[in-house]
Structure 1
């Protein structure tokens, strides 16, 4: 057995024990425990330096104390998100009281049929994003990033499945499924805020960031709307979901211009979401190119 296999086995055992233990708690208690662990340990981890660096770049007007508060609260949210996994089914349940809709009309309209893309981001607990379609009986397939550990993968898939909807992994296989889903007039869900080496440079907080054009390309290809879906944490295991007005592909524009316009609009919406609740975004990714930090 290689060291990687040993690590994978230990991770799987640890996750199974965590799921069993957290599952015995109420969703609120599990969330509170995860938040306590996250905000107590997270700010002291080396990767938090990346979050502080990202915050200084994105919002240079922030003082040191405010940056530390955001980093601490980011870890609180991340710990809560992890601890809420065993309770996703209950949180997402009909009339559970854990989710509150602000404006569901753009999503509710999809019950009449037609291709559409629901686009969300790594804010609050992004794993409940499928609730936005499932609670209205809408058949949605969501593109997800699978865990690298093959022993952990089936456990995570089972927990995610409790929220509703079908899932397909990122990558070429996921792209083929996305084309099939939209081509057959169904709904696709995705998170659009991840850093990619490909894509196009589009401003995010005034700094060019390599941004995926996947959602925009699909919308232009199939002539379907993108509906931004915002998730906010309002308390332990409690969330507010807002469906924004559909963004239609620009009429009359050539394909490249239309894709860039849609991609820019998505980044503008993402920035608005983050500015409103910066502690609920995942600041741990290298979202901007190295040159931006040296400027």
Structure 2
């Protein structure tokens, strides 16, 4: 297959998604968010095989989970993914929801102190609830929060995705050389950098997540140590109604070895996923060598 035909194929694959997003954005927010969740759970997920991935991961991590609960999660997990997708494209309406409630958690005072002192902060979260809701809420409080994102393999999807996350707040930095210099300048200037760190990284450290071996990037801890930054877990927990969030700021992880600090981050997310399993992205191949 030539490069031209590959590009054409990606462009065609992107068209239905763009149409779906465009149609949903015409609807009122309170209708578009649950509707996109339904489409993801009952249309896209079965076709894409997401339900099989969720079941495989649950069988590995929670083998004693009742069948009724497994069945619920195979729908509720992609439902949360669909909600998250259209929320990110909803711009100001999503930001209004994400910032409606005050920030919570024991780590908030540490963030205030770091901001006042111009000290860098590494904010770490996972693909849980809606990971961009915490970024929106922190920016609204006056914190200088940037985000590091992994560019999508599909350049057509990536282009409109970056525009969408930029509506929530800037700066945003692509992983790799393209964004490295700007990201470092931002950190050195006392910025707060948001990272997602719950995906399988082949060159990562051999740590554990939810009781099983999981290769995990040490980059968040490495940055915190190199630039004397706070390392702070933060999460947006979706409320029962499905549209609003509790934004939780946990206490900073004490500086130590990169491995110990990163394991503490894994353990932090572990606890939250066990409390709200439907809100985590079980579709990832997090335990790639085992599942």
Alignment TM-score > 0.5, same fold: yes
The answer on 1:117 being equivalent to 2:125 is no
Correspondences of 1:143-162 after superposition (within 5 Å): 143-162=148-167
Quote how far apart the aligned CAs of 1:115 are: 0.6
- Structure 1, unaligned runs of 5 or more: 251-257
Instruction: Report the CA distance shift for 1:239/1:100 in structure 2 as closer, same or farther (over 3 A).
Output: farther
- 1:245 aligns to what? 251
Cα distance change, pair 31–153 in 1 and its aligned pair in 2 (3 A): same
Aligned counterpart, 2:242 = 236
Cα offset, 1:101, TM superposition: 2.7
Aligned equivalents of 2:288, 2:97: Cα separation in 1: 42
Residue of structure 1 equivalent to 2:41: 39
Contact 2:98 / 2:136 at 8 angstroms: preserved in 1? Answer: no
CA distance, structure 2, for counterparts of residue 106 and residue 135 of structure 1: 17
SS of 1:138 mapped into structure 2: coil
Structure 1 276/163 Cα, relative in aligned 2: closer, same or farther at 3 Å? same
Aligned counterpart, 2:72: 69
Match of 1:272 in 2: 271
Deviation of residue 12 (structure 1)? 4.0
Which structure features the higher share of strand residues? Answer: 1
CA change 1:230–1:96 in 2 (3 A) is closer
What is the TM-score of this pair, normalised by structure 1?
Answer: 0.88
Q: Tell me the C-alpha RMSD between the 2 structures.
A: 2.2
C-alpha distance in structure 1 between counterparts of 2:42 and 2:14, whole Å: 24
3-state DSSP class of the match of 1:226?
Answer: strand
Q: Does 1:9 align with 2:15?
A: no
Say which is worse superposed, 205-214 or 8-17, in terms of deviation: 8-17
- The counterpart of 1:27, out of the listed 23, 26, 29, is 29
- Once residues 95 and 280 of structure 1 are traced to their aligned partners in structure 2, the CA distance between those partners, rounded to angstroms, is 16
Residues 37, 78 of structure 2: 8 Å contact kept: yes
Q: Which residue number corresponds to residue 82 of structure 2?
A: 79
Q: Does 1:136 align with 2:138?
A: no
What's 1:93 paired with?
96
Q: Distance in 2 between matches of 1:41 and 1:100?
A: 35
**What is the distance in 2 between the residues matched to 1:144 and 1:284?**
18
When structure 1 is superposed on structure 2, of 22-31 and 258-267 the one drifting more is 22-31
Distance in 2 between residues matched to 1:230 and 1:94, nearest whole Å: 15
1:124–1:281 contact (8 Å) kept in structure 2: yes
Report the Cα offset of residue 39 of structure 1: 2.2
Give secondary structure in 2 for the equivalent of 1:209.
Answer: strand
1:105-127 C-alpha deviation (Å, 9 max, x unpaired): 34344431211111111011223
1:105 is matched with: 109
Residue 95 of structure 1: CA displacement?
8.6
Structure 1 residue 100: Cα displacement: 5.1
- The separation in 2 between residues aligned to 1:43 and 1:167, in whole angstroms, is 29
The normalised TM-score by structure 2 is: 0.89
